Amino acid sequence: MNEPTQYLRGRVETLFHASPGFSAGQLKDDDNRLVTFAGKVIAAVGEQVILQGAWVNHPKYGKQFQADTLTHDLDLSVDGLAHYLANNPAFVGLGPVKARRIAQTFGRDFGRVIVENPEAVAKAGPITIEAAQNIRVEWMRHQAINAAATELSAFGLTHHQVRSLIDKYGNDAVSIIKSDPYLIVRDIRGFGFKRVDTIARKVGVPKEFPPRVRAGILDCLDDALDQGHTWVEEADLIERANKLLVMDSLQSRDIIDMELSGLITKGSLACDSYDGRFLIARADIRTMEREVEQWLRGGDKDHPCVFDLLGVWQKVRDGELCPALNPKQRAAVVAALTHQITVISGGAGSGKTFTVGDLTKTLEEHGLAVVLAAPTGKAAKRLEQVVGKEAFTIHRLLGFNGHEWSRGPDDLIDADVIIIDETSMVDLHLAWRLLRAIDHEHTAVVFVGDHNQLPPVGPGDLLRDMIHTGIVHGVVLTDVVRQAGELKENSTAILRGNVAKTSTHLDARGRRPWYCIDEFTDPWDVRRFIRDLYETVLADKLGFDLFDDIQLLTPKRKDILGVNELNVELQSLIQRKLYGVEVPAVPPGRRPSFLLHDKVIQRRNNYDIGIMNGAIGRVVELMSHGDLRVCFDNTEVTLSRADGDLDDLQLAYALTIHQCQGSEFPCAVVIVHKSHSFMHSQNLFYTGVSRAKQTTIVIGDRWGVRNCATKKANDERNTFLGLWRKDNEAASIKEALNG
């Protein structure tokens, strides 16, 4: 007959041994006695636990509790309960102070008291009886998961993150996370390795814990991906991981090397040998880039409809068709009419979009079906306005609904020619998705973009790699067309290291196309000037709409000239100036609240509501429970605080230069100051000023402006596609030597 299962409840006081597979130590039980325990469980000092097992007499250590399983006595955590109550949006009327007071008052009895006597909870807060009743209803509705949610909240997780974990793991969430907290890195957006590692330290995970080492390796690769690289050299990866993990063992590099080999053997990572080096990549990234490369390699052939266009491209070449184009632009059109894959690149004012308009017209006049697309809604809308034909975002073209891509190998895009604008913004993931949905036998593709702009936010550098490797036929438009005007000429001049002085020419509205105010060595003087500019000049003297026409651009998010502080200042100024609203001061470290009429930007693709990353909108309604109604491009959507939608929203009076790629504004105010010198580069400066359609205002100091215009940043990315250029160069050298 089996012995009945026994339980031991208490707080872990000491640990004699702790490893991922075994713990031994002492806990203080409910009667305040120290009890020895051991078993195949993971325990940490200070935890309130319930052990399941049996009492045994160990031949060496005497009487002890042999633990088979360990669960956490979750309802004892005052910190977790306080955090859970304060951060659950369903618990209306509770802030951090009142939540902590209630948690400290009732502790483990809170669940019973809120159900049996909500009036006592109301008194302890103090909160209204209505708020206490609401808490009671919500607590009882989710009673099965409250304990787990409370414990998870103690880790500093938001309510949305806690809910995501429970949705994925159910009531086992705590035990799963306790056994391997590094799963959080993979399963919860916004939780990186370092933050999760802090949690792991609290639960006693050793530094050499294999899942920790593997998570560290993957984090280093993800960090490289965030910087745009698709591979990391093996020796460099081991060194990065060693610095991140800071293990106590002298053999730390050997441990990392062993776990790295295991990840490669399991197929999680890929390893390529190139020029005597081993290049490590995530397996999915390597597959994507290999397929993109294979597709591009096979694209240097005739246009699928070349015979239908035989006489057409000749007429374009001779100037009979597209007579308004200059020779370079006509060469670009001819290339697009004769090759399966073509790249058309050029700087601001070179007439790329104008060329695309003539190309599209010519193709359609000769019976070919053309599809226009761009990476962002703003870029697609601008393309549509210039060409006079509907344009799609690439995501929409591929039928992405937030979860699935309807277009792919089994449902190809029906088009003779696909034209992709703003290709500099297309990362590897999107390029791969796009190529899988193209009929390579019957469809030609034209990539259009400015390779002088910043590379994409995601990994890869498709446009530059295509141009620099020569893997497909490309035409670079080098001349600024006459009609582009002084603004575009001055923007392009930055790529030669030249920054023009303030224009002397005034238009009919008293505006100059170019202002360069570079007299402020103190960044606070820049702040004061910007405030005066918005207060008395931009609208009152130059006639710009402060909401729709002006965009302040800066390199950074933080410091006094960063996006965060500038947005707080401009929100206060514009709300008061336009709407008579006095905005309360924002405490240090806190996000500003969103107000009616605020200008905002979406920072992540949200396919559930159909709003893409980079979409700029206006708050049109403040709703209950902190929800917002926001209008993006004439489309109103509701953003839920409880669902975490507001986490992806940011004030947009000021944006980073990276955020504004693909967008244009009547007036761009660009900060270029020595305090941001570590971020300076020609490409950054050029990208910022080329966002303006009518007027650019450069503000900073002389040294900062000159440094930014002349500094050529080393933004070359490690990509497998980029290696093809080196292979070509090596082959050319070998061929030349062999004569």
- Alpha-carbon span 63 to 208, nearest angstrom: 31
Classify residue 109 by its DSSP letter.
Answer: G
Whether the CB-CB separation of 51 and 67 falls below 8 Å is answered with: yes
- Alpha-carbon span 522 to 545, nearest angstrom: 28
User: Residue 406 is encoded by which pair of tokens?
Assistant: 């309807």
Identify the burial level of 386 via C-beta atoms within 10 angstroms of its C-beta, where 0-12 means exposed, 13-18 middle and 19 or more buried.
middle
- Alpha-carbon span 230 to 432, nearest angstrom: 13
Collapsing DSSP to helix, strand or coil, 457 comes out as: coil
- Taking residue 276's Cβ as centre, other Cβ atoms within 10 Å add up to 5
pLDDT at 634: 79
- Alpha-carbon span 120 to 101, nearest angstrom: 12
Backbone angles phi, psi at 440, to 5 degrees: -70, -15
Collapsing DSSP to helix, strand or coil, 352 comes out as: helix
User: Residue 450 is encoded by which pair of tokens?
Assistant: 């400015």
Whether the CB-CB separation of 653 and 599 falls below 8 Å is answered with: yes
**What Cα–Cα distance (Å) separates residue 266 from each residue in 209, 214, 249?**
18, 12, 25
- Taking residue 34's Cβ as centre, other Cβ atoms within 10 Å add up to 11
> Cis ω on the peptide bond leading into residue 181 (within 30° of 0)?
no
Facing residues of 274 across strands?
A: 277
pLDDT at 708: 93
pLDDT at 322: 87
Contacts of 572 (CB under 8 A, 6+ apart): 583
Facing residues of 630 across strands?
A: 619, 637
Pick from 612, 527, 515: nearest CA to 561: 527
Pick from 34, 51, 33, 31: nearest CA to 42: 51
Classify residue 557 by its DSSP letter.
Answer: S
Whether the CB-CB separation of 551 and 563 falls below 8 Å is answered with: no
- Alpha-carbon span 113 to 135, nearest angstrom: 11
User: Residue 500 is encoded by which pair of tokens?
Assistant: 């023009």
- Alpha-carbon span 299 to 636, nearest angstrom: 42
Contacts of 59 (CB under 8 A, 6+ apart): none
- Taking residue 228's Cβ as centre, other Cβ atoms within 10 Å add up to 21
- Alpha-carbon span 586 to 592, nearest angstrom: 6
User: Residue 122 is encoded by which pair of tokens?
Assistant: 């109301």
pLDDT at 697: 96
Facing residues of 668 across strands?
A: 551, 696
pLDDT at 733: 35
pLDDT at 612: 75
Task: List strand residue ranges (DSSP E) for 469-509, in order.
Answer: 473-477
Identify the burial level of 191 via C-beta atoms within 10 angstroms of its C-beta, where 0-12 means exposed, 13-18 middle and 19 or more buried.
buried
Facing residues of 635 across strands?
A: 632
Strands 514-517 and 550-554: unpaired
User: Residue 327 is encoded by which pair of tokens?
Assistant: 């020779």
Pick from 398, 402, 382, 399: nearest CA to 390: 382
pLDDT along the chain (739 residues), means of 10: 68 75 81 85 70 85 84 59 73 78 83 84 87 81 61 65 71 72 74 79 79 92 92 95 87 92 94 92 95 87 74 86 89 91 88 91 91 89 88 91 84 94 93 94 92 88 90 86 76 91 88 94 94 94 92 92 93 93 82 92 78 86 87 86 83 91 89 90 91 93 93 84 66 39
Whether the CB-CB separation of 98 and 59 falls below 8 Å is answered with: no
Classify 367 in phi/psi space as left (phi over 0), alpha (psi -120 to 50) or beta: left
The residue whose two tokens read 């500019």 is 533
pLDDT at 531: 95
C-alpha torsion sign, points 386, 387, 388, 391? negative
- Express the helix, strand and coil content of the chain in percent, nearest 5 each: 45, 20, 35
End-to-end CA distance of the chain: 90
- Alpha-carbon span 563 to 551, nearest angstrom: 12
pLDDT at 649: 92
User: Residue 623 is encoded by which pair of tokens?
Assistant: 């709703």
